[in-house]
Amino acid sequence: MTTTPIPRRDVLAAGGALLGAAMLAETAQAQMPSSSSAPFALPQLPYAFNALEPHIDAATMEIHHGKHHAAYVSALNIALKEQPRMAGQKLEDILARLADAPDNIRAALRNNGGGHANHAMFWQIMGGRGGDPTGPLAQAIQRDFGSFERFRADFNGAGLRLFGSGWVFVTVDRDGRLAVTTRPNQDTPLMEGQRVLMGNDVWEHAYYLKYNNRRAEYLAGWWNVLDWNRLNERYAAARAGTLGI
């Protein structure tokens, strides 16, 4: 199959977007009084930046975590500076009660709180070797989708159909049943009180350096870096009612 070359202007535009994200993160961090007083912090990656290669490259991971995610955390903390009551709440509770947030910060909480929650989940479920699912989660996938192949195809298809930027998720209900869903931008099912088992970031910043505009290749490769042990832990926590973000 012939791959259409990416125009130089598109590559430059992607680079400009990454630079813009870096500048946003640095500006937001500079506005915070001190990291020790901030209610939320950027979590450390549980593996090295290059641990997901060749499927996700080290440069993308470093920018994605250290610039994009950092920008969401900083902006979230800025939005909560004058809201001590909200700042003391769990992030999933803030997101589930966005309608109660002050009008002047609701959009910031939605975009940046959602961005923080989504990315914190995203780093946790990767770092493994992929392969077939295991344990109770494998049984749930078989029950709810018929096969792992169907589950993966439904998930990737949803990610491909999502227009623009956003996420494709798998949610878990109180009975442990799974469902594939999508959200635009940094929205999350947490905003409707649902529990998120897993999700993949289909914003271009998650894959453009390696895959350019080939989202399908990125979605296919991503399954090779999943940690099924960690996902089984999240599934058990969701069923027990203790899963946070």
CATH of the domain at 15: 1.10.287.990
- pLDDT at residue 36 in the model: 54
Evaluate whether 116 touches 91 at the Cβ level (below 8 Å): yes
- Domain end position, chosen among 102, 125, 148: 125
pLDDT digits (tens, 9 = 90+) for 186-237: 999 999 999 999 999 999 999 999 999 999 999 999 999 999 999 999 999 9
Closest alpha carbon to 29 in 66, 65, 75, 61? 75
Q: Is residue 142 part of a domain?
A: yes
Task: Count structural domains, the chain.
Answer: 2
Residues 20, 91 within the same domain: yes
pLDDT digits (tens, 9 = 90+) for 44-67: 999 999 999 999 999 999 999 999
Separation of alpha carbons 8 and 204, rounded Å = 16
pLDDT digits (tens, 9 = 90+) for 124-175: 999 999 999 999 999 999 999 999 999 999 999 999 999 999 999 999 999 9
For residue 99, the Cα-to-chain-centroid distance in whole angstroms is 22
Residue 33 has pLDDT above 50, yes or no: no
- pLDDT at residue 17 in the model: 46
Which secondary structure element, helix H or strand E, spans residue 186, and what is its range?
none
68-66-51-90 Cα dihedral, nearest 10 degrees:
-70
Q: Give the domain range for residue 92.
A: 8-31+54-125
Residue 8 has pLDDT above 50, yes or no: no
Evaluate whether 56 touches 50 at the Cβ level (below 8 Å): no
Structure tokens at 44: 């450390």
With the C-alpha atoms ordered 128, 130, 134, 138, is the resulting torsion angle positive or negative?
positive
Helices (H), the chain: 8-31, 58-63, 70-79, 84-87, 91-96, 103-108, 114-125, 135-145, 148-161, 208-211, 215-222, 228-240
Residues 12, 120 within the same domain: yes
Q: The pTM is what?
A: 0.86
